């Protein structure tokens, strides 16, 4: 696969899941800190960022599984 996500899609699934989980945990922690201060804009932006991370990880796993077939 070509493009900016090509290297991400070629990572092993275990590493991809570990990196995605760590990144999501950090973003979730940051979102909770901003929620405590009442910054609604940052909470919404971080929730969107968590969704994007989950989407990329899901698409990468799907791509690798389809490539195996």
Residue 14 CA: distances (Å) to CA of 31, 58, 59: 25, 13, 14
The tens place of each residue's pLDDT in the chain, 69 residues long, gives 567 777 777 888 899 999 999 999 999 999 999 999 999 999 999 999 999 999 999 998 998 888 877
As for how many domains the chain has, the answer is: 1
Give, in degrees to the nearest 5, the angle at Cα 58 between 21 and 39: 55
- Any domain includes 47: yes
pTM value is 0.84
- Any domain includes 2: no
- Any domain includes 1: no
Kindly give the interhelix angle for 13-37 and 40-68, rounded to the nearest 10 degrees.
170
Q: What is the pLDDT of residue 6?
A: 76
Name, in order, each residue with C-beta under 8 angstroms of 67's C-beta and a sequence gap of 6 or more.
none
- Any domain includes 53: yes
- Any domain includes 29: yes
Residue 20 structure tokens: 């995605």
- Any domain includes 24: yes
CA 20/CA 30 separation, integer angstroms: 15
- Any domain includes 5: no
Q: What is the pLDDT of residue 3?
A: 72
Range of the domain at 23: 10-62
């Amino acid at each position: 696969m070509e493009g900016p996500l090509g290297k991400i899609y070629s990572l092993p699934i275990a590493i991809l899941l570990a990196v995605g989980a760590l990144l999501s945990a950090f973003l979730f922690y940051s979102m909770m800190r901003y929620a405590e201060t009442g910054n609604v804009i940052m909470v919404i932006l971080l929730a969107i960022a968590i969704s994007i991370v989950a989407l990329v990880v899901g698409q990468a796993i799907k791509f690798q599984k389809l490539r195996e077939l």
